[in-house]
Chains A and B, each alone.
Chain A
Amino acid sequence: MGQKGENTMSKRVARLGIFVALAMVFSYIEVLIPFSFGIPGVKLGIANLVVVTGLYFLKPQDVLWISVIRILLMGILFGNGVSLLYSMAGGVLSYLVMLVCKKAGLFSIVGISVVGGVFHNLGQLLAAMAVLQNENIVYYFPVLLAAGVVTGALIGMLADRIVKAMKTQEYDMK
């Protein structure tokens, strides 16, 4: 991919659009999978596949854009203003922590995804405590933490396979 100037920019825009669409489809599929324990905030987080995988193939700021635009659009389409706030807090916090962990090079993609899952839940929990002005929500912390580890690990293992498959294709989009 040696093109420069406008060509690169339009490619980048098109690519972002495709990944946002993919992430939105994942968010939508999520609803169809019965993986809810009836605890607010506990879900598989399939859309994070795009974010985790993206950290290995895209520019970091593009991954943030994909995540933020996905959350905004899903919030406008299917949620309301308040639920958008929780998702955004979780999405941005988990992105930042994953990026730091990736740069630090301590963990493999599974560990990074676990950290992402945990901080996604933590971000939502903190946003909920702030919005609802209720500190008793902290009682959800142990369950949300454990759930973040489990879902993060599952997504991480899937992302690992995707990254490996993409690497054999020598697929680099930076």
Chain B
Amino acid sequence: MNKRDVFLMAGLLTFAGLSYLLLIKGREQTGNRIVITLDGEIYGTYALNQDREIEVKNDNGYNVVVIEDGQVYMKEADCPDQYCVKQGRISGRHESLICLPHKLIVEVEIAEEDGAAAEDAIDSIAR
């Protein structure tokens, strides 16, 4: 290891820290709904304040998304790497559970209007 290696690592880590501060820090608000995207298309929007279990199936495989106590996690997936299951529970805005092999994303958002979350809840019951 030489001096330039150390500078390189310090520089990259500083850049990682800065991008963390710019992108994420201070924006860690709790979200109130989740959006599930499958293969680039929106699969459904669900309120976070309502416990439920959502089964998502497509040609790539299947996933079970669970909303519980205002948090969301991936309960099950038949993908080989299981990263999405290991990601644990999330509830913050911009946080997401990603199952890369299935092209599935679960994103936490904040609905713009207060009424939106409630409306979505009704929507998803209808589904």
Contact = CB atoms under 8 A, between A and B. Distances in A.
B5 interface: yes
Contact of A111 (B2, B17, B98, B102): B2
B33 to A, nearest CB: 15
Contact of B94 (A115, A128, A139): A139
Contacts, number: 111
Interface of B: 1-2, 4-5, 8-9, 12-13, 15-17, 19-20, 23-24, 37, 40, 60, 79-81, 83-84, 86-88, 94-96, 98, 100-103, 105, 107
Main secondary structure of the interface of A (DSSP, over half): helix
Contact of A141 (B2, B9, B23, B107): B23
A133 B40 contact: yes
Interface of A: 36, 38-41, 78-80, 82-83, 86, 106-108, 110-111, 114-115, 118, 128, 131-134, 136-139, 141-143, 145-146, 148-149, 153, 156-157, 160
6 contacts: A41-B83, A108-B5, A110-B5, A111-B5, A146-B13, A156-B1
Given A82-B101, A139-B96, A145-B19, A40 B12 contact: no
